[in-house]
């Protein structure tokens, strides 16, 4: 059997970086996509140092042409895309809806929702042509519940909708599609955004029964599991990785 290939967007830092490393540990070659060239190159260097085959792609996922070109190049270089983690995203100021700047709304939707749609579209087309594959989207606890940050919350609900819709469409064509819904994670945007926007970060952390932030590695392991044969009957599922936050 030929080597497996994984594509990770937002692979330059936080959850994306950790997931690239977990895919490599599982024997995947890794295509690392990020809009930040320096961050993507750091991840690729770390993967190669560990003995994995990896390639960086500097892409704005909101741009159709760039996404299409990236998917084509990954297929030419590695032959196929067996797993994809659509993780790239941005946040916005934590303000009530009527105070949201229209430019912020457009920016967050174009990256989080349109970007995820474009990646899914071209990943699915590639997977259908090769006979199957697995996709995991990065949503959030705010994709299944409410949050004051309305642009971010709206996009994360939208990602859950894209996941469920595509899962229904491609269930019989060997393309499994799921999402992870992380709670507060100590890496990436998590604690930084919380500290900047939340009046009482400790109270938010205490809101999860486990009473601590999660780690990027905990989310990464869930993503790689969803792409494995161990999860072969898991499809169209929103997997909470939230320390019990949603069980309150």
- The whole-number pLDDT of residue 173 equals 97
Whether residue 193 is predicted with pLDDT greater than 60 in this model: the reply is no
Mean pLDDT calculated for residue range 6-12: 98
Q: Which residue, chain included where needed, has tokens 């993503």? A: 223
- Active-site choice (28, 57, 122, 152): 152
- 104-112 own/partner pairs: CB under 8 Å, 24+ apart: 104/151, 105/151, 108/151, 108/152, 108/155, 109/151, 109/154, 109/155, 110/62, 111/61, 111/62, 112/152, 112/155, 112/156, 112/158, 112/159
Mean pLDDT calculated for residue range 147-157: 92
Over the stretch 18-63, which tens digit does the pLDDT of each residue have? 999 999 999 999 999 999 999 999 999 999 999 999 999 999 999 9
Percent of the chain with pLDDT over 70: 91
Whether residue 119 is predicted with pLDDT greater than 80 in this model: the reply is yes
Alpha helices in the chain (DSSP H): 14-25, 37-49, 64-78, 102-108, 115-130, 150-170, 189-197, 201-206, 216-226
Q: Domain extents for the chain? A: 5-239
Q: Are 41 and 65 in contact (CB under 8 A)?
A: no
CATH superfamily of the domain spanning 5-239: NAD(P)-binding Rossmann-like Domain (3.40.50.720)
Name which residue leads in pLDDT, 25 or 248: 25
C-alpha triplet 169, 123, 85: angle, nearest 5°: 100
Q: Known catalytic residue: 57?
A: no
Whether residue 1 is predicted with pLDDT greater than 60 in this model: the reply is no
Token pair, residue 242, equals 């939230």
Q: Are 8 and 22 in contact (CB under 8 A)?
A: no
- The whole-number pLDDT of residue 146 equals 85
Whether residue 247 is predicted with pLDDT greater than 70 in this model: the reply is yes
Over the stretch 170-185, which tens digit does the pLDDT of each residue have? 999 999 999 999 988 8
Mean pLDDT calculated for residue range 136-154: 92
Helix (H) or strand (E) holding 9: strand 5-9
């Amino acid at each position: 059997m030929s080597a497996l290939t994984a594509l990770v967007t937002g692979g330059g830092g936080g959850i994306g970086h950790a997931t690239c490393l977990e895919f490599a540990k599982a024997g995947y070659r890794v295509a690392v996509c990020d809009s930040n060239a320096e961050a993507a190159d750091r991840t690729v260097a770390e993967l190669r140092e560990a003995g994995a085959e990896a390639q960086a792609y500097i892409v704005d996922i909101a741009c159709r042409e760039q996404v299409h070109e990236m998917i084509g190049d990954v297929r030419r270089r590695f032959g196929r895309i067996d797993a994809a983690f659509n993780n790239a995203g941005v946040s916005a100021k934590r303000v009530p809806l009527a105070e949201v700047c229209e430019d912020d709304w457009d920016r967050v939707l174009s990256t989080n929702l349109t970007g995820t749609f474009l990646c899914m579209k071209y990943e699915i087309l590639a997977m259908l042509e090769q006979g199957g594959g697995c996709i995991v989207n990065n949503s959030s606890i705010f994709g299944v519940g409410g949050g004051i940050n309305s642009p971010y919350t709206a996009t994360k609900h939208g990602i859950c909708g894209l996941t469920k819709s595509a899962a229904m469409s491609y269930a019989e064509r060997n393309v499994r599609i799921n999402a992870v819904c992380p709670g507060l994670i100590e890496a990436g945007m998590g604690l930084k955004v919380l500290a900047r926007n939340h009046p009482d970060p400790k109270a938010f952390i205490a809101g999860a029964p486990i009473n601590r932030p999660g780690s990027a590695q905990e989310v990464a392991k869930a993503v790689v599991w969803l792409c494995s044969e161990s999860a072969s009957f898991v499809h169209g599922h929103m997997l909470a990785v939230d320390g019990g936050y949603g069980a309150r």
